[in-house]
Amino acid sequence: MTTPLALPGLAGKVVVVTGAARGQGLAEALVLLASGATVIATDIAPDAPADLASSADLPGLAHYRQLDVTDEAGWTELASWLGSEFGRVDGLVNNAGIPFRGRIGEIARDDWDRVFAINVTGAMLGIQALSPLMNAGASIVNIGSSAALNAHHTVAYTSSKWALRGLTHVTATEFGARGIRTNIVHPGYIETEMMAAAPAIMTDAQLALTPLERTGQPEEVAAVVAFLLSDASAYVNGAEIPVDGGFTSSAGVKYMSDIIKNSQKTT
Ligand SMILES: NC(=O)c1ccc[n+]([C@@H]2O[C@H](COP(=O)([O-])OP(=O)(O)OC[C@H]3O[C@@H](n4cnc5c(N)ncnc54)[C@H](O)[C@@H]3O)[C@@H](O)[C@H]2O)c1
């Protein structure tokens, strides 16, 4: 494990991260631990990942709890444990999510429901269960996707992430008066197990459309999530932050620009 980045404004905060057994969730847990936070890493996986278990030398305190984000009773149990253990929650990262590459015209109802249950309902259940333990200064970060900003063909995944934007803006509005902030981060193509299953041709197409001309790393998303959890972002509420190398900003125009540039080189 390389030493994770440490950010200011997080020491002593009690933060819950879902889907933290690997990928971006694990990277988020490690940055928070390096920054001195108490992290409750949760995942549907029964056991804590090795990197979390070996994080004892980091300044923060790590806990691991099994949690399926679709399990309402599981959230209630977690809230009750957090209440008795810490008396409060300062941060929640709704990171757990699953992809599904079915297209409109062929998506099965069960697949649609499963994607929505994890990617949207799971976040809503988490917010409802943990927000009673939040005080002014607390921060909720939802993990969206660049697919939430465009028309990616994965219809259930894309629609679920657009719905998560709605949940983010409602929560930011409703909880603002309590001093609780809610924001959403939209990762682009990030190198995790989720993307390991993506067809190679998709990677090539993504790179052709991404101004930075490379994929992203989980730590690059984690740093932005940590900033949104920290006091350094105290006036950021209801924001949507792409972490995608400029992919959604360019909106395909890089492809057109490169074609024009290349044609001018040859004429
Ligand atoms: N990797 C990317 O390129 C990318 C791009 C855009 C958005 N995202 C989003 O980022 C988030 C993290 O993705 P990742 O790339 O780290 O994925 P990943 O597949 O590597 O990790 C996801 C984690 O979520 C857990 N999980 C799955 N279902 C769960 C459930 N019901 N309850 C609790 N945990 C569950 C898995 O066990 C796993 O540990 C997801 O919300 C994903 O949609 C990823």
Which domains can be identified in the chain, with CATH numbers? 14-266 (3.40.50.720)
Which atom of ligand 1 is closest in space to residue 45's alpha carbon?
Answer: 37
The pairing of beta strand 91-94 with beta strand 181-187: unpaired
Q: What pLDDT is recorded for position 112?
A: 98
Q: What pLDDT is recorded for position 53?
A: 85
Amino acid making up residue 85: E
Distance 239 CA to ligand 1 centre (A): 21
pTM, 2 dp: 0.97
Strand locations in 30-84, DSSP E? 38-43, 61-66
Mutating to test ligand 1, I would choose from 26, 40, 42, 43 the residue with most ligand atoms within 8 A of its C-beta, which is 43
Residues with pLDDT less than 70, the chain: 1, 266-267
Distance from C-alpha of 242 to C-alpha of 266, rounded to nearest angstrom: 35
Distance from C-alpha of 187 to C-alpha of 242, rounded to nearest angstrom: 6
φ/ψ of residue 28, rounded to 5: -65, -45
Q: Is the CB of 195 under 6 A from ligand 1?
A: yes
Distance 93 CA to ligand 1 centre (A): 12
Q: What pLDDT is recorded for position 21?
A: 98
Amino acid making up residue 40: I
Q: Which of 64, 157, 189, 235 is an active site residue?
A: 157
Q: What pLDDT is recorded for position 267?
A: 58
Q: What pLDDT is recorded for position 82?
A: 98
* Residue in the structure block whose two tokens are 């939040």: 134
Distance from C-alpha of 68 to C-alpha of 74, rounded to nearest angstrom: 7
Q: What pLDDT is recorded for position 20?
A: 98
Which atom of ligand 1 is closest in space to residue 157's alpha carbon?
Answer: 43
Mutating to test ligand 1, I would choose from 28, 44, 154 the residue with most ligand atoms within 8 A of its C-beta, which is 44
Q: Is the CB of 192 under 6 A from ligand 1?
A: yes
Please enumerate in sequence order all residues whose Cβ is within 8 A of that of 126, keeping only pairs 6 or more positions apart, or say none: 16, 18, 69, 75, 92, 94
DSSP-assigned letter for residue 149: G
The rounded Cα 90 to chain-centroid distance in angstroms is: 17
255 has catalytic annotation: no
Distance 230 CA to ligand 1 centre (A): 22
Q: What pLDDT is recorded for position 74?
A: 98
Angle of CA points 85, 91, 95, to nearest 5°: 110
Q: What pLDDT is recorded for position 85?
A: 98
What pLDDT, in 10s, does the model give residues 157-190? 999 999 999 999 999 999 999 999 999 999 999 9
Question: Which tokens in the block code for residue 56?
Answer: 């004892």
Which atom of ligand 1 is closest in space to residue 25's alpha carbon?
Answer: 16
Helices (H) and strands (E) in the chain, counts: 11, 7
Amino acid making up residue 95: N
Question: Which tokens in the block code for residue 141?
Answer: 């970060």
Q: Is the CB of 64 under 6 A from ligand 1?
A: no
Q: Is the CB of 74 under 6 A from ligand 1?
A: no
Strand order across the 91-94 sheet: 61-66, 38-43, 14-17, 91-94, 139-143, 181-187, 240-243
